[in-house]
Amino acid sequence: MLKKVRTLWSRYALSPKPAVVYSAALASCLLTGWLLSLLVTWQQDRTELHERVSLLTQQLDQQIGLANGALGRIDGVPVSAACDLPRQMLASVVQSTPHARYALRVGADGTACTSDLSRQDVPALPGDGRVLLLSGSRDGKAVLRLQRHGYGVSMIELGGDAFVNLLQQAASGDMQAYMVLGEQYLAADGKVHPMDDSIGQGLSYSLPAPSGQFSIVMQESWLSVLEGSLLRRPDTLLLAVLAGLVLAWSLLRREVARNSTGWEIAQGIRNREFFTHYQPIVTAEHGECVGVEVLARWRHPVQGAIRSDLFIPAAEDAGLIVPLTRYLIRRVTKELKQVALPPGFFVGINIAAEHLGMPDLVEDCKILLAVLREKKAVLVLEVSERYPLPEHQVTHRVVQDLRQMGVKLALDDFGIGHADRNYLRRWGFDYLKVEKGYVSALGKDSFKTNILDGLLQTSHQLGVQVIVKGVETQGQQNYLSVKGFEFLQGFYFGKPMTLNHFRQWLYSGITQDRVPAAVGLGRAEATDR
C-alpha cells in the first residue's frame, strides 16, 4: 500500500501536470477577458456619467439662472408700509418664474413685504449668504431659497420638486445624482441631507457663475460596475469571452500540436512501431565487442523512419518517455533471450532522468536483469549529463536499489553538461560515455583534445571507466588505444543495427578475425535501417 502511494506520488506529484497547467492558463485567459470587460464597462460608465452630469448641470443652471433673473426684478420692487402694491409686484414675479413659490423684499430701512398675504414671516436672513438649501418647514419638502443682499435684501423661494425631478432623471440604476450646496445636499429621494464623505468621492461639477455655489455630484457604486461588466453589456462581455477563447484556442492548438505527437507516440507504442537497434561497444585495443547500446527507433506507418533525436525529446515533453522506455526494455528482454552473449557483456539502455526518480524503474528492470544474469551479462543504465539527476530522496533510493541488484550506471554525453567530481561521486557512476564531439575534435581542437587526454587520469582517480563515443576512423582508434582508453563506440566498429544484424556481426566477429579495420569497414555498410 505504502509502496503504491509512493509510486503514485513519484509518478504524478513530482512530474508537471499538463491538465492543471492548461486549466490555469484557460482560467487566466477568461480572467483577462473579464478584466477587459470590467475596464470597458468602467470606461463607458464614466463617459455616460460625464454626459449626464453635464446635461444636469445645464438644466439646473437654467433653472437657477431664471431665479437669479427674478432676484434682479425683486431688487426693483419699492417697499412701503402698506405692502399692497409691492405684494402684487412680487406675486407677479413669483408667477412668471418657474417653480417659484414665494418672494420677499426688505427695503433699506428694514420694511419688509412678501408676495403672499398668508406668509408674512420674514425668515432670518443670514448676513451675506446668497443661497440656502432648506427643508421646507411646512410640507417637509425641499425648498430652495436664493437671496441677495444689496440695497436691502431680495429673496425668492423655489419648490424643490423640479430639482428633485431632474436629479431623478439623471440618476438611473446604480448611478446616483446629488445637488450639493455647502454642507447640505439634495438627493433624488427629495430630501435634504447633511453632507457626508461618501458624496465627496463622486464625479463633481460646479455650476457656472452666478450659480457657482452649487455643484452636481454623480457617482456609481463599484458593485454596479462589477455587475455591469457581467450583465449590463452583453456585447462587451461576449467580446471579452471571444478574446479569451481566441487566446485559449491558440494555447489549445499548441497543446494539441504537442499532444498530437504525444498521441502518435502513444499510438506507436501500442502498435509496436518502436523497435531497437544495437550498437557495439568494443575494446580500444583489439576491437573486441564487450557490450552494446540499445537505441530506440521508430518506423511511423506514414512518415517512415523518424529520427530519434526528434521523437525522444517529443516523448519526454509528452510525458511518454517512461512508457516508451518500459516498452523498449520489454522488447530488449525478449530479443536478448535469443542471443548468446560473451560473459561480462554489458547492455546499455538509455534512461531519462525523470525515470530514475520513479520506484517503478526497479520493477521495470527486473525481468531483463534475470535474463542478463543468466547470460552473465550486465545491465548499464545510461543517463544523459544534459539533465542533472533530481537530488531527491526517491531518486537516491532507486539508484541504491538498482545498485544492489547489480545494475551499473553510465553518465552519457559526458562533456556537454556540468557534471563535476562531486556529482559523479554522489551518484556513483561506473562509466563515463564521452560526447562524440571530443573524438571528432582530435587533431583539430587542442582544447578538447587536452580535456580528453586529462580525462583518463581523472577517471582512474574516481574509479570510473571511460567509453569514448563517435569513433569513426582507424586513426582515432589508434590514438585512443595508445592513450590508454579502454572502450570505444562508433561507426568505425559498427553502426546501430537490428538484432539480426548485430547477432551476425557479433558471431562472425568472434569466429573470424578481430582486426578492427576489417570489422569496422566491412560491417558498417551492412547495417543500419
Q: Which does 57 bind (CB under 5 to 8 A by kind): Mn ion, ligand G, none?
A: none
Query: With respect to ligand G, which residue has the nearer C-beta, 176 or 350?
Result: 350
Are 166 and 152 within 8 A, CB to CB?
Answer: no
Q: Is-cis flag, bond preceding 343, omega within 30? A: no
Residue 494 makes contact with ligand G by CB under 6 A: no
Residue 268 makes contact with ligand G by CB under 6 A: no
Residue 489 makes contact with Mn ion by CB under 5 A: no
In this structure, what C-alpha cell is assigned to residue 289?
A: 565487442
Residue 382 makes contact with Mn ion by CB under 5 A: yes
Q: Judged by CB under 6 A, which stretch of 16-24, 88-96, 118-126, 486-494 contacts ligand G?
A: 486-494
User: Which of 470, 509, 516, 520 lies at the binding interface for ligand G (CB under 6 A)?
Assistant: 470
What residues contact residue 345 under an 8 Å CB cut-off, 6+ apart? 289, 290, 291, 292, 375, 376, 377, 378
Q: Which does 399 bind (CB under 5 to 8 A by kind): ligand G, Mn ion, none?
A: none
Count of residues interacting with ligand G (CB under 6 A): 25
Residue 412 makes contact with Mn ion by CB under 5 A: yes
Residue 490 makes contact with ligand G by CB under 6 A: yes
Per CB under 6 A, contacts with ligand G among 366-395 are 382
In this structure, what C-alpha cell is assigned to residue 518?
A: 576489417
What is the greatest pairwise CA distance in the chain?
148
What residues contact residue 287 under an 8 Å CB cut-off, 6+ apart? 477, 493, 514, 515, 516, 519, 520
Residues 294-323, one symbol each (x = binds ligand G by CB under 6 A, - = not), give -xx-----------xx--x--------x--
Task: List the end-to-end C-alpha distance of the chain, in Å, as a whole number.
Answer: 45
Q: Judged by CB under 6 A, which stretch of 208-216, 249-257, 365-373, 485-493 contacts ligand G?
A: 485-493
HEC secondary structure over 369-427: HHHHHHCCCEEEEEEECCCCCCCCHHHHHHHHHHHHCCCEEEEEEECCCCCCHHHHHHH
Per CB under 6 A, contacts with ligand G among 328-357 are 328, 350, 352
In this structure, what C-alpha cell is assigned to residue 326?
A: 518500459
CB of 315 to ligand G, least distance (A): 8
The helix-helix angle for 360-374 and 321-337 (nearest 10°) equals: 10
Query: With respect to ligand G, which residue has the nearer C-beta, 312 or 371?
Result: 312
Q: Which does 295 bind (CB under 5 to 8 A by kind): Mn ion, ligand G, none?
A: ligand G
Distance, in Å, from the CA atom of 329 to the CA atom of 153, rounded to the nearest integer, reads 108
Strand partners, 185: 180, 193
CB of 299 to Mn ion, least distance (A): 20
Query: With respect to ligand G, which residue has the nearer C-beta, 187 or 322?
Result: 322
Residues 70-99, one symbol each (x = binds ligand G by CB under 6 A, - = not), give ------------------------------
Selection from 345, 352, 371 nearest residue 292 by Cα: 345
User: Which of 236, 350, 395, 459 lies at the binding interface for Mn ion (CB under 5 A)?
Assistant: 350
Helices (H) then strands (E): counts for the chain: 18, 19
Residue 385 makes contact with Mn ion by CB under 5 A: no
Binding site for ligand G (CB under 6 A): 279, 293, 295-296, 308-309, 312, 321, 325, 328, 350, 352, 382, 412-413, 433, 436, 469-472, 489-491, 496
Q: Which residues bind Mn ion (CB under 5 A)?
A: 350, 382, 412
